[in-house]
A and B are shown apart, each in its own frame.
Chain A
Amino acid sequence: MSDRVEVRKTYKLFVGGKFPRSESGRSYVPAAAGGVNVTRGSRKDLRDAVTAARKGLPGWSQSTGYLQGQILYRLAEMLETRRRSMVDEIGGGPAEADAEVTAAIDTITYYAGLPDKLPSLLGSQNGVSGPFFNFSTVEPTGVIGVVAPDAPALAGLMALVLPLLAGGNTVVALVSEANPLPGLALGELLAVSDVPAGAVNLLAGKREELVPEFAAHRDLDGLLLAGAPAAAPSAAAADSVKRVRYAGADAAQWSLAAPPGVAWVEPFVEVKTFWHPVAP
């Protein structure tokens, strides 16, 4: 490398399709991120992100499954072409980082093929004892908060966010605290993947500070967290009857394993059942 003074990037939040700094004016230098400045999100940033996700919900959830699938596939295309920079952002051993990018791409393509199958897989026509046409379909739960694991920083985030998007939800995700670069870099891919503004919002910051705010936010309809079940967020989430799930403590295992079918989609979609009389 020459002795040119290079242009350094600050990694910023991704909210409503834009890349704001934190309203709190704070940043931090994560240990695992090689001395790079990262915007440190606040409670107010979370609120802004939830507002953006709520606003983005009709656009994303009412898109056809076919369109959702194509948009998610476009994200996989973007990540494939950004593989090298993402490997740098993941850091550590390059081979391992490269494998993680591959796993993330595979996760995306798996879920890209899912949205238009959900009505068949999770819905049903129901036999009832009477002259009624009765069927059930699934709709997204709404705006879901995600707390990603520290590592794998990219594949862990993808494993949690993708099933939610495939179900038609919009997402506010807190990326890895130890290494937020891959998570925030994902925003730069989302911004050019035709994913509508607000469908995915990415925050970086301190888990200790922000997880309680996620849990207490009344306009989040659900929470999907890395790690083992924990009392505090679950208890706070009960105030608005949020759907809460935990992915388990072994993030390396569930981030890199093949996606578990619809098992991670199902807790964040709502079954809606229609009745209509049948008469001449």
Chain B
Amino acid sequence: MTDAPKLASERAAQADPRTLRFGETWAYAAAPEGTDHFEIAERYGLFIDGAFADAAQGATLDTLNPASEERLSSVACGGEADVDRAVAAARRAQPAWAGLPAAERGRFLFRIARLLQERAREFACLETLDGGKPIREARDVDVPLAAAHFFYHAGWADKLELAFPGGRPQPLGVVGQVIPWNFPLLMAAWKIAPALACGNTVVLKPAETTPLTALRLAEVLVQAGLPAGVVNIVTGDGTTGAALVRHPGVDKVAFTGSTAVGKEIQRALAGSGKPLTLELGGKAAHIVLDDASIDQAVEGIVRGIFFNQGHVCCAGSRLLVQESVHDLLVEKLRRRVERIRVGNPMDKNTDMGAINSRAQLERIEALVASGTDQGAKLYQSSCALPDRGYWFRPTFFTEVSQSHRIAQEEIFGPVLSVLTFRTPDEAIEKANNTPYGLSAGVWTDKGSRILWLAARLRAGVVWNNTFNRFDPGSPFGGFRESGFGREGGRQGLRGYVQLDGELLGA
């Protein structure tokens, strides 16, 4: 463990004679995605009762391209009066929406799924411009999954009795939903689709820094002919979200975001009896055992922490490596991280894009500084970074101990903490040693070991010999302070229906 780095790298090179050394001979030519097929309006209003309108107070927010710091557009910043109007519209629309034949509700969702697929490129470009994620991810993950969520839940609309035998599922009414900036369109789809399938109407509050794809989704809803008021989208900042979740006319709240804000919402709803689902932070353990395929594990580790610049609540941010393979794995990881292409998110070759906002960049920088201060060993890619915009190099720390802030706190950036363990028992103990419990990963060749470990990890999603996979059919959500309730799958519908005999919520 205390070998000099040079020695470790020599050993690794011996262990892996197939290493190819390209140097700079395989540089990629620029391959930017074109943006001439769609327009971004100068200003966007709130989407309430089927129409766009300015905020009552006239307040607006600028939304920037984090890769260039250039202003893309302005959106209305909703206040209490706007939330009020949106909730009232949703309330008016709800009985008729729930009263539609279920198959017709489903057909609206099918239409939305199809429209998203047909306008996929425009949505992908807009997501990347507004949020900073690589176009490859927006194109291959965010937009297809958003469409898939609508398509999947479309099919549930007329099969709810099959999902809850004997439960006589009923809609909850008006649902208030607040979503984060890391997967703006996907989170909107993830929230809206099950709510509508179950006969609820929605007021959605997109994130402050990434409102554009949700507003474009509003255009799709109009195009799909969705009745006015069934979905209302109120952009704004934290105060807008706070007004929505506290609104007395909201029957259920669904929130994805930080654990701190989740606790505030749980407190705000205390005693109301309203159902609440929370999908909060994480500090996922990613465990590599000595018999794992190390090359595949390295790819999984990279996918686990550098996907979407690490702005992922379920990111594999704590790597737990069995001691005997630590040096080899770290050396391979170092080489792999060095090859991650960081830069223009609109370039189709880019692996890692821009950090979403200046505020987030500052949080990442502060936590990374704490890692160095507390004695962990820093490794960062030597890649060049653009002059403008918010950027952070792919980073990992070795020699991390469990008490370090970088091993306990969610960084929400491209920063991995590497720890070691000797026995599977120790791996479990370390893996479960945070207040979170959203996701975890296990790499080993042995099936019985996978099941043993996975059963002991206190996490809602366990990826075995893979990481960061998502599907609308697969329930997602956390244990402990990562929140409660599931999204996706049959279990995800539970958060949007009332059943016979159920207990009362908070």
Contacts and interface: CB of A to CB of B under 8 A. Distances in A.
B474 A273 contact: yes
A273 B267 contact: no
A246 B503 contact: yes
A270 B339 CA distance: 39
A136 B486 CA distance: 11
Interface in A225-280: 228-235, 237-241, 243-248, 260-261, 263-264, 266-267, 270-277
B469 A275 contact: yes
Contacts of B469: 128, 130, 132, 275
Contact of A238 (B270, B455, B466): B270
Nearest to B269: A234
A241 B271 contact: no
B459 interface: yes
Contact of A127 (B262, B473, B483): B473
Contacts of B461: 272-273, 275
A278 B304 CA distance: 19
B501 A274 contact: no
B270 A234 contact: yes
Interface in A70-126: 122, 124, 126
B484 to A, nearest CB: 5
B475 A273 contact: yes
Contacts of A246: 273, 503-505
A267 B503 contact: yes
B166 interface: yes
Interface in A203-244: 221, 224, 228-235, 237-241, 243-244
Nearest to A224: B503
Nearest to B503: A245
Contact of A126 (B167, B435, B455, B475): B475
Contacts of A221: 480
A124 B162 CA distance: 13
Given A126-B471, A221-B480, A270-B479, A276 B465 contact: yes
Contacts of A126: 471, 473-475, 489
Nearest to B259: A241
B506 interface: yes
A228 B273 contact: yes
B385 interface: no
Which among B269, B483, B501 has the highest number of chain A CB atoms within 10 Å? B501
A136 B262 CA distance: 25
A134 interface: yes
B481 interface: yes
Q: Which of B459, B491, B504, B506: most chain A CB closer than 10 A? A: B506
A274 B462 contact: yes
A57 to B, nearest CB: 11
A263 B267 contact: no
Contacts of B435: 240
A240 B267 CA distance: 11
Given A234-B506, A238-B263, A261 B466 contact: no
Contacts of B269: 234
Contact of A229 (B455, B481, B491, B505): B505
B464 A274 contact: yes
A129 interface: yes
Looking at A237, A245, A270, the one whose CB has the most chain B CB atoms below 10 A away is A270
Contact of B271 (A230, A260, A273): A230
A235 B267 contact: yes
Given A270-B460, A276-B464, A129 B148 contact: yes
Interface string A127-142: 1111010101001010
A263 to B, nearest CB: 5
Contacts of B489: 124, 126, 136, 273
Interface string B434-467: 0100000000000000100011000111111110
Given A238-B267, A241-B259, A274-B464, A261 B166 contact: yes
Contacts of B482: 241
B107 interface: no
B491 A271 contact: yes
A235 B270 contact: yes
A261 B501 contact: yes
B475 A271 contact: yes
Contacts of A233: 270
B370 interface: no
Most buried by A among B266, B460, B465, B481: B266
B278 interface: yes
Nearest to A136: B475
A277 B442 CA distance: 12
Contact of A241 (B266, B460, B473, B501): B266
Contacts of B473: 126-129, 134
A146 to B, nearest CB: 12
Contacts of B267: 234-235, 238
Given A128-B473, A271-B460, A273-B462, 20 more contacts: A124-B491, A132-B469, A139-B455, A141-B479, A230-B271, A231-B270, A234-B506, A237-B506, A238-B266, A241-B482, A245-B503, A246-B504, A246-B505, A248-B504, A267-B503, A271-B475, A271-B491, A272-B454, A272-B479, A274-B462
Interface of A: 122, 124, 126-130, 132, 134, 136, 139, 141, 221, 224, 228-235, 237-241, 243-248, 260-261, 263-264, 266-267, 270-277
8 contacts: A126-B475, A136-B474, A241-B481, A243-B484, A246-B504, A260-B500, A260-B501, A272-B460
* In the complex, the 6 A-B pairs of residues with the closest C-beta atoms, listed nearest first: A231-B271, A260-B501, A234-B270, A238-B266, A235-B270, A128-B471
